[in-house]
Amino acid sequence: MLHGAGGLAAQVEQQTGLSEVADQAGFLAVYPNGGGRLGTALLTWNAGTCCGYAHQTGPDDVAFVAALLDQVARDYAVDSRRIYVTGMSNGGMMAYRLGCELADRIAAIAPVSGALDTVTCAPSQPVPVIAFHGTADQKVRYAGGDSSLAGLRQGDERADRSVAEAMSFWTRRDGCAATPTRSQQGAVRHDVYGSCASGVAVELYSIEGAGHAWPGGTRPRNEADAPPPAPNASEVMWQFFAAHPRAG
């Protein structure tokens, strides 16, 4: 579980409620910290064209996560076919990047309010993807383009790719139908891209009118966007993850 730009591991644990889901379902939830100039504040991940200190200095955060997975496997009994990555905002972008570069180790990814901002993406094998994004997100815009943070924070002058571009890439790579089967409950629109390669799936939850937030979670700070009550992203993504172990 990867925090957003400027966030912390402990903060995103509280924001997402993922540990409660882990306790109920019996899986390990791991919350690493990214890097920052100050060491313990304004932490970011090098997700390609974003964000902040990590983007400016270019640390190999893919290698860091790979080493982290090695350490967790030494410390705990880990099923190597059931390693999953999710993240919020910059962490969601990093989840996309890890899907691109660690497809031989990661069974599925679940970006939340993130963009596929990698310079190149060439996963070695298909990767199941479930994504969540508010249509009124101004920090990582649903339709792509300049973030509302541009010019306010050094290193955030960027133009994100749209959610549609991310879905188009992964459906092509995973051999899925280009047109999804769509259902809607209230403000929640659920797209399922069917007929994917064996054992692979791509799904998108679009929350109409929602901003930059973790669906079903809490505000990490008072000034943050209000999280939509549905879907509960942590619970939904775990159901998706549990259904998709890594092939091979």
Q: What is the pLDDT of residue 130?
A: 98
Q: pLDDT tier at 150 (50, 70, 90 boundaries)?
A: low
At 30-73, the pLDDT tens digits run 999 999 887 777 899 999 999 988 988 999 999 999 999 999 99
Q: What is the pLDDT of residue 156?
A: 54
- Average model confidence (pLDDT) for the chain? 94
Q: Name the DSSP class of 75.
A: H
Of 79, 112, 69, nearest to 94 by C-alpha is 112
Q: What is the pLDDT of residue 73?
A: 97
Residue 166 predicted with pLDDT over 60 = yes
Residue 151 predicted with pLDDT over 50 = no
At 83-105, the pLDDT tens digits run 999 999 999 999 999 999 999 99
What does DSSP say about strands 202-207 and 188-193: parallel, antiparallel, or unpaired? Answer: antiparallel
Of 50, 40, 36, 39, nearest to 11 by C-alpha is 40
* Strand order, beta sheet including 188-193: 84-88, 108-112, 129-134, 202-207, 188-193, 181-185
Q: Name the DSSP class of 226.
A: P
Ordered by where they begin, the domains of the chain are 9-242 (3.40.50)
Residue 159 predicted with pLDDT over 50 = yes
Rounded Cα distance between 43 and 223, Å, is 18
Residues 6 or more apart in contact with residue 189 via CB below 8 angstroms: 182, 183, 205, 206, 207, 208
Half-sphere exposure of 182 (CA within 13 A, CB side): 8
User: What predicted TM-score, i.e. pTM, was given to this entire model?
Assistant: 0.95
User: For residues 106 and 53, which has the higher predicted lDDT (pLDDT)?
Assistant: 106
Q: What is the pLDDT of residue 157?
A: 60
